[in-house]
Amino acid sequence: MVENLELLFVWHSSTSKAAAEAAKHHAEAWLWKVLQALREYGPMTDEEQQTLLKLNPSTQRPRRVDLVARGLVEDSQIKRLTRSGRKAVVWRALGP
C-alpha cells in the first residue's frame, strides 16, 4: 500500500480540509485502485478511469494528483478526446 498518506486539500477552505479528513480512511484504498487500474489497463484519461472504476471525479482525480506528486504516475504526453470533445491528458503509471 501507499505509506504516509496525506490528502491534499485547499488550505483556505475549511470544507476542503474537513472532506480530506473524512475521506482519509477510504482514500488509501482508492489511491491503490487508481494506480492498479493504470498498471493493469494501461494509460488512461481521468474520465476513462472514472468510468472504469465507477468513481466520482471528486474521488478519482485527487487520488491521481497524489500519485503524480509521489512520482508514481506521469503525463504520457498523449491527449485523447473526452465525451464532451475536449482534449484530456492520458496518464500512465511508472515502475512495476
- Domains of the chain as residue ranges with CATH: 14-93 (1.10.10.10)
* pLDDT at 1 (0 to 100): 44
Rounded-to-integer distance, Cα 58 and Cα 56, Å:
5
The per-residue pLDDT for range 40-89, each reduced to its tens digit, is 999 999 999 999 999 999 889 989 999 999 999 999 999 999 999 999 99
Residue 93 has pLDDT above 50, yes or no: yes
* pLDDT at 91 (0 to 100): 98
pLDDT average, residue stretch 6-13? 63
Burial-class residue 58 by CB neighbours within 10 Å (0-12, 13-18, 19+): exposed
* pLDDT at 11 (0 to 100): 62
> Of the candidates 78, 26, 19, which has an alpha carbon nearest to the alpha carbon of residue 34?
26
| pTM score of the predicted model | 0.77
Q: C-alpha 6: how far from its chain's center?
A: 14
